[in-house]
Structure 1
Amino acid sequence: MSHIAVERNRRRQMNEHLRVLRSLTPSFYIKRGDQASIIGGVIEFIKELHQVLQCLESKKRRNSLSPSPGPSPRPLQPSPQPDSPFGVESFKELGACCNSPVADVEAKLSGSNVILRTISRRIPGQIVKIINVLEKLSFEILHLNISSMEDTVLYSFVIKIGLECKISMEELALEVQQSFCSDTVFVKDII
C-alpha cells in the first residue's frame, strides 16, 4: 500500500471514531464540530460519568452502613500512581476522610491546593454552609463542581490554602462534616 492510501485509511478511521464519539456524547458537551471540541466534550462527559459513579457508590455505601454515633476523621492511605512516569512512590497526596450516615467528606492535599469532595443527599443551603466554613478557615475557592443524581449530590472543590490557615486535613474534613449538622460548631472555636 502506498503512503497516500495508508494516510487516507487512517483519516477515514479517525473520522469514523469521532462520529461514534459524537453520537455517544450528549450534544450540550460538544460546542462545535471540530475534532478538538468533540474530544474535549467527550472528556468532560466521561469526567461527569465518573463523578456520578462515585455518587452512586457512596450512596450504596451509606445505605449499607449502620448509623454511627458521629463522624470521625481518618487519614487517607497514599494511593499508588501506576501510570506515573516517575514510579509508584513519586507522588503522594496527603489527606483525610470523614464519613457519617449523612455525608462522606474527603480532603486531599495536592501541591499548594486542597481537593475537597463531599457526597451526601441533597440538603437545601448546604453549599452555602460549606463555603462559609472554608472562608472562615482562610481557604480561597478556586473551582467548584456540582454533580447530582436523584437525591444525591457531589460537591468537588479545589481550594487554595490561605496564609492564615493553620489546620490539618483531618480538622478540615471534620469541620466540613460538621457543617452537615443543623448547628455548625467549629473545632477552632472550641480550642
Structure 2
Amino acid sequence: MIHGIFSLYAERWPFFQELILQHIKIASTAILISGSIGLFLGILISEHRRFATWIIGVINVAYTIPSISMLGFLIPFTGIGNKTATIALTIYGLLPMVRNTYTGITTIEASTIEVAKGMGSTPWQILYKVKLPLALPVIVAGLRSMVVMTISLSGIASYIGAGGLGVAIYRGITTNNAAMTYAGSILIALVALASDQLVAYIERHIRKKWHLAP
C-alpha cells in the first residue's frame, strides 16, 4: 500500500500539485473570511455582552449541522462549486474564533482594565493595547483550531463539484482505488500540519512585536 501511494505521487505529481493549490485556495479564503468575521463578532459581544448568548447560540446551532447537510442547504442558493464550499467552511470556522475571542477578552481581570482606565486610556487604546494582547493566547488557540478544521473539512468540497484534495479521495472511493484515497488524505493532513505551524510562527512574531511572554 505504501509503495502504491508513493508511486502515485511520483507518477501523477502534477495532478496532486494542482489539487493542493486548489485546496489551499478554498481553505485560505474561508479562513480569512471566518477569521475576520469571527474576530469582529468576538470583540463585539465582549464589549456588548447582552448579545453574547444570542450570537454564540446561533453559531452553535449552525456548527451542529452536518457538513453534507450544510452543503445541501446552500446549493439551491449558491449553486455547486467553490463558492458554496467556501461559504460552508466559513460558517463552520466562526465558532472557534468567536468563542475564543470572547472568552479571551472577558476573562481578563477587571482590575487590569481599571488600571488602564485610571491612566486615561481610551476604550480603543484599552482594546488594542491591553485586551487583545492579553487575550492573544486564547484567540490564537481558536485560530489554530479553526485553520486545521477548515483545511480538513475542505476535503468535502469535491462532493459538490469543487476542487481540492477531496477530488483524489472521492476518485479513490468511486474507483475502489485505496492508494488514491490514502494519497489525498495524507496530503490534506500534511497541509493542515504545515498551516498550524505557520500560525504558530505568526503568533511568535506577534508576541515578539508586542513584547509578550512566550
Relative contact order (C-alpha < 8 Å, sep 6+): which is higher? 2
After TM superposition, the score normalised by the length of structure 1 is 0.26
> Per residue, is there more strand in 1 or in 2?
1
After TM superposition, the score normalised by the length of structure 2 is 0.24
